[in-house]
Amino acid sequence: MRRLLRRWTRTRQPPRYSDRPPRKLLVAPRARSYRFAIMDNPAIARLDAAITRVENAIAARRAADALLERRHATLKATMAQAVAALDTIIANAPEPEVKG
């Protein structure tokens, strides 16, 4: 590159296309397969790891929600039984005597 710049300053003409060094590839070289190329890319590997973490968090949240839902149903049934028992006690209670 320095050689090209020196030639450019000396001749005051831009370098010819044939004098320029080849451009660096902006993409990874051809891999054996698409999957191999993806797994070789560290950015894609980080994205894949992040997606896995999100999916695991969603699964854990769903499991926690299911557990909470089961606990709520059990509590609701228990409270319904307790209220029914209180209703029975109140219905069978003797009437208080009124003094008057």
Buried b (16+ CB within 10 A) or exposed e, 1-30: eeeeeeeeeeeeeeeeeeeeeeeeeeeeee
pLDDT in tens, 32-61: 555 555 556 788 888 889 999 999 999 999
Tell me the domain boundaries of the chain. 2-91
CA angle 46, 52, 55 (to 5 degrees): 145
CA distance 57 to 61: 6
Q: Cβ contacts of residue 39 below 8 Å, gap of 6+? A: 45
Given a cut of 80, is residue 9 above it in pLDDT?
A: no
- Given this model, what pLDDT does residue 94 score? 83
CA distance 77 to 97: 36
- Given this model, what pLDDT does residue 57 score? 94
Q: pLDDT higher for 2 or 94?
A: 94
Q: Token pair 């209703």 is at which residue?
A: 87
- pTM here is 0.43
The model's confidence at residue 17, banded by pLDDT at 50, 70 and 90, is: low
Given a cut of 70, is residue 18 above it in pLDDT?
A: no
